[in-house]
Each structure stands twice: as structure tokens, then as C-alpha cells.
Amino acid sequence: MNDAGGPDPTLRATYVHWSPEKIRFGDLDRHNHLNNVALCAMLENGRVEFRERLVPEVARDEASAWLLVTIAITFLGSMSYPGVVDIGTRPVRVGRSSYELAQGAFDGARCLATARVKTVHADRRTLRSRPVPAAFRAVMLAESAAGDG
């Protein structure tokens, strides 16, 4: 358990959905470590792949916008080129018009970073929040229990 009472985000077993991300030479900082902004982009790719894999018809709805509201990242380690970062993603909360994901970035079993992300479902034209679609909610609720044992 973590401080929020959910599964430990630093453990690979917490995640069911994975997106491998190849470290490019240009992703390095001046210390030859994976740049934190490059890692943020890798986490974003993991979130988008997760949503599109789970409920593609909802994720690609042209009338919807999925707006990032909050992201909190804890950096725990570093990697260098060449390498692959495995991005794990799982839902941890589904609200009326928003959901939260937990993410972990891993080099094998070693956790490099964890993230907690809140996204709001909105009308693309007005950018006003609207309820999460029922099909999306059902899948997210089922997935939030995955990996809990």
C-alpha cells in the first residue's frame, strides 16, 4: 500500500497495461541521463495507448476532449542511452467527469518514476466538463481492480 491507500506504484505487479518506450540519444540531458521532459512524453504515450486500447470508440470520439488537469511525478532513478523504459498504467479512481491513473516507469524491476494523473472528460467545442461515457466508466472501474490480487 502507498500513502493514498492504493497499490504500491513502485512495484511492477501493480500494473497490467504496458507500453515500451525506446530511449533515443536525443532524450538525454547534459549528464547523459534520460531527461525528465522526455520521461514525461513517455508517460503521456503510455496514457494515450492505455485509453485507446481499452475503449477505442470512446477515446477517439471527435466530440470529446480528454484534458490533463493534474500530473504529479516522483523521480526515483535514472537511465541512459541505449535502453527501453517500460511504462505501466492503471486506473485508480473514476469520478463523474474525471478519472485518475497511476503510472510507473521501469527499467526491468527497478522503478525510475511514478506518476499520478487526473484527466477530465470535456466537450471538445466548449471545453466544459461532461460525464465520463458509461462504456468508458465500466471498463475503467473493472480495470481499477485488476492487479489488486
- CA separation, residue 15 to residues 10, 22, 70, 75, 145 (Å): 10, 19, 20, 18, 11
Q: Is the pLDDT of residue 3 over 60?
A: no
- Report whether pLDDT(2) > 80: no
pLDDT digits (tens, 9 = 90+) for 47-61: 999 988 988 877 677
Q: Please name which of 48, 65, 69 lies closest in space to residue 128, comparing C-alpha atoms.
A: 65
* pLDDT tops 80 at residue 108: yes
**Alpha-carbon separation of residue 97 from 67, 120, 123, 131, 136 (angstroms):** 11, 6, 11, 4, 11
Q: What percent of the chain has pLDDT over 90?
A: 71
Return the pLDDT at 145: 77
Choose between 146 and 102: higher pLDDT. 102
**pLDDT by residue (tens digit) across 50-93?**
988 988 877 677 888 899 999 999 999 999 989 999 999 999 99
Q: In this prediction, what percent of the chain has a pLDDT beyond 70?
A: 93
12-145: CATH topology: Thiol Ester Dehydrase; Chain A (3.10.129)
Please determine, for residue 31, whether its predicted confidence score (pLDDT) is greater than 60: yes
- Residue 147's pLDDT is 54
Flag whether pLDDT at 17 surpasses 80: yes
Q: What is the pLDDT of residue 54?
A: 87
In the chain, domain spans: 12-145
Q: Which is nearest to 113 in space by CA: 72, 76, 71, 70? A: 76
Q: Write down the mean pLDDT value for the chain.
A: 90
